[in-house]
Amino acid sequence: GLAFGGLFVAAERSDANPRPLASRFASVNHPLRIVAHRGGAAFAPENTLAAYEAAIARGDEAAECDVRVTRDGQLVVLHDARLQRTTNGHGRVERRRLDQVRRLDASNRWRAHGFDKQTPPRLSEVLDLTRDQMVLFVELKRGRGIVEKLAAELERRPDQRAQIVIISFDARLIRRASELMPDVPRMLLRRPRAVWSPHVVAYARKHGATMLGLDARAARTKIVRRAHAEGLPVYAFTVNDTDQARKLVSMGVDGLITDAPPRLSAMVGD
């Protein structure tokens, strides 16, 4: 079964075993890893501090967040290019200053479930919250200088670098991350059409990826095996159905990115 929570983390941080936490997620043939997508979007407003607090409380080993750049060059945790789906604002994130974004409510559809107002957090706030608690998969969306800004943020957190995995659909961002942060694991994400290319593993390697993320609908055993032969662990996203999860586990994937971590961890524990 899966083991979650402080036991792994405490062991990882002991002087006797200084191996970086993210390395557990960035290598092949470890026990199956579960990552809370957007903090666990089935249980809390996505990409909010409330979601990551809930993930920590559940004992999730890892969570994913999405990062964009505001008009004034700040890193903010929001998935969409536009504000209207997840907040009570409108327009494009890149055209709003951080102070404008920070006035918005990212939990407006969750109020009935007992959540107080949640402001879209800065990446630094999510990093502060998750430090020593979990590995954070940081998905880079588009934004001017986004890789350089993340590199600067991690320079200020040398002790936390070992808890970070950088992920992106944009191969250019992965390549830039490999130049600026070669010590941080990097996962290239592929949508279905791109997954079916026989060159998907070579393409990931060429752009400096050390991990491969496949849309779950397009994952195939032969791709997983090819990636493993090249030393790349494979994660599948976004997996919320237990039957689909079992199928992916049988293909040999190393991790599942899910909105509902307890559902899948219970399945794996069967």
Question: How far is residue 233's CA from residue 41's CA, in Å, rounded to a whole number?
Answer: 24
Question: How far is residue 118's CA from residue 86's CA, in Å, rounded to a whole number?
Answer: 11
Q: Is residue 79 annotated as a catalytic residue, yes or no?
A: yes
Q: Is residue 207 annotated as a catalytic residue, yes or no?
A: no
Q: Which of 30, 37, 90, 207 is catalytic?
A: 37
With H, G, I as helix, E, B as strand and everything else as coil, classify residue 76: strand
Q: Which of 30, 79, 90, 207 is catalytic?
A: 79
Question: How far is residue 49's CA from residue 217's CA, in Å, rounded to a whole number?
Answer: 29
Question: How far is residue 148's CA from residue 216's CA, in Å, rounded to a whole number?
Answer: 30
What Å distances lie between residue 103 and 70, 98, 117, 128, 232, CA to CA?
13, 9, 10, 20, 41
Question: How far is residue 90's CA from residue 105's CA, in Å, rounded to a whole number?
Answer: 11
Tokens describing residue 64: 């994913």
The residues carrying an active-site annotation are 37, 79
